Amino acid sequence: MKIIKIGGGLIAPKDKDRVIDTKTLSEICKALSKSDEKMVIIHGAGSFGHTLAKEYKIHEGFLGEEQIPGLLEIRSDMERLNSNVVSELNKAGINAISMQSSAIFVCSEGRIVSANTEPIRGCLELGVTPVLYGDVVFDRAKKFSILSGDQILGYLFTKFKINQGIFLVDVDGVLKDNKLLKQFSTFSDLSFAKETGDVTGGMLGKLKEIKNYSVQGWIINGRFPKRIEKILKNKGAKGTEII
């Protein structure tokens, strides 16, 4: 079984306000449909979450009631984006169903402390693909916090019999000194990676979650469907292998 994270920036570029790149999304879904294995799919927020999260300081937790309109709008936006992703997956022949992340996971200080994964397990037993997403979730310490799709992938990687975590991003993989790393170890030093303005940490945040949960798999460019197909068939492709 594989777990796939579709980067939000791939399907909802952050330089466009809540606009879905339907062509890229469709091509990714068609590539994923080539796999015969069971999958769990997670997608990021892109412009559907990060812009408002910054504006309302959602990533800082509850600061005041003036944040509530932002919280509600992000929830609504993420449901809309998720609905489009699920629709495209079904068009591609994948029996996909939405799973609301904020109804499954509870955090404390932004880290998952509780999760009801039975609905996900039930989907997989039926041969249905659950589709989760990065979202604003309830937080025991901060009242709410942003839960990244990368942390969701790591958490589920440890809870299910998953042999590969595959991160689809908008670059060829992990870059060090502008050169592609063919392999990244969960023991690697992260001093070369830089923080970004992304409220979930960008590539650095992704690598931290990979190390934290000892994820094995690949980080590849999701704009190249053939690479996705090769990785799904365990043939290897241009990208960074996580070991």
pLDDT score of 198:
65
CA atoms of 30 and 28, how far apart (whole Å) = 5
47 and 19 Cβ atoms separated by less than 8 Å? yes
Band of residue 187 on the pLDDT scale cut at 50, 70, 90: confident
Question: Residue type for 174, please?
Answer: V
Three-state DSSP class for residue 90? helix
Distance of CA 115 to the CA centre of its chain: 17
Q: 177 with 148: CB under 8 angstroms? A: no
The four Cα atoms 59, 164, 88, 107 give a dihedral, to 10 degrees, of -20
How many other CB atoms are found less than 10 A from the CB of residue 105? 23
Residue 49 predicted with pLDDT over 80: yes
Confidence check: pLDDT of 201 > 80: no
Which own/partner pairs from 126-130 qualify as long-range (CB within 8 Å, at least 24 positions apart)? 127/38, 127/95, 128/95, 128/96, 128/97, 129/38, 129/39, 129/40, 129/41, 129/89, 129/94, 129/95, 129/96, 129/97, 130/40, 130/41, 130/96, 130/97, 130/99
Mean pLDDT calculated for residue range 136-164? 96
- Residue 40: pLDDT over 70: yes
- Collapsing DSSP to helix, strand or coil, 177 comes out as coil
Average pLDDT over residues 47-63: 91
**Is the entire prediction scored with pTM above 0.85?**
yes
Q: Is the pLDDT of residue 135 over 80?
A: yes
Q: Return the CATH superfamily for domain 2-242.
A: Acetylglutamate kinase-like (3.40.1160.10)
Given pLDDT bands bounded at 50, 70 and 90, which one contains residue 147?
A: very high
